[in-house]
Amino acid sequence: MSSSKQRAELMALRDAALEDLMATSDADLLSEAAEDGEDVEALSRAFKIGMRNAAAEALREQAVSSKQRLEHKAAPRPGVLRPGIDAIKRIVEQAFQRDQSLGLAFRSGKRQSDDDWRTLYDDLIALGKIDPNADVD
């Protein structure tokens, strides 16, 4: 028997089992579990923990992937020069005026360093809030 035929038969068997499971009432499932000596509460707790762990892992992977994409986009591209610091400040301020949903928190209420402004500029480009090819007003 070929592996594709075996796979098809296993999938058909799985589908039939799932169909049977879906057709069984909750009361019947609980009764069957009790007959088999299963602790339904313990199974439920284990399932909840497993689902939470799987969701947390998926969120961690998504966060890492998003961070890597953002860092890749935010990194200055070779051969592309940033404008001077005064122009960067004007461009960033214009972006904040255009898009009121943008927010910024200053560290300890202090002013931003020139490196902070450059990083903010790069981040806003990565987010699509600034077009690096647009003329500065």
Between 80 and 116, whose confidence is greater? Answer: 116
Per-domain residue ranges for the chain?
Answer: 1-38, 39-74, 79-126
Nearest-angstrom CA–CA distance, 130 and 112:
19
Mean pLDDT, the chain, as a whole number?
85
What is the three-class DSSP state of 45?
helix
Q: For residue 29, give the amino acid letter.
A: L
> Which amino acid appears at position 108 of this protein?
S
Instruction: Note the pLDDT of residue 50.
Output: 94
Residues 62-112 have pLDDT tens digits of: 998 888 877 766 555 555 678 899 999 999 989 988 888 887 776 666 778
Rounded average pLDDT over 22-38:
92
Of the chain, the percentage scoring pLDDT greater than 70 comes to: 87
Rg, C-alpha atoms of the chain: 28
Predicted pLDDT of residue 107: 66
User: Residue 80's pLDDT is what?
Assistant: 60
Give pLDDT tens digits for 4-15.
Answer: 899 999 999 999
* Residue 91 · residue 121 · CB < 8 Å: yes
pLDDT higher for 118 or 79? Answer: 118
Query: What are the structure tokens assigned to 91, written together?
Result: 């461009």
Confidence at residue 115, expressed as pLDDT on a 0 to 100 scale = 84
Give me the pLDDT at residue 13, please.
Answer: 95
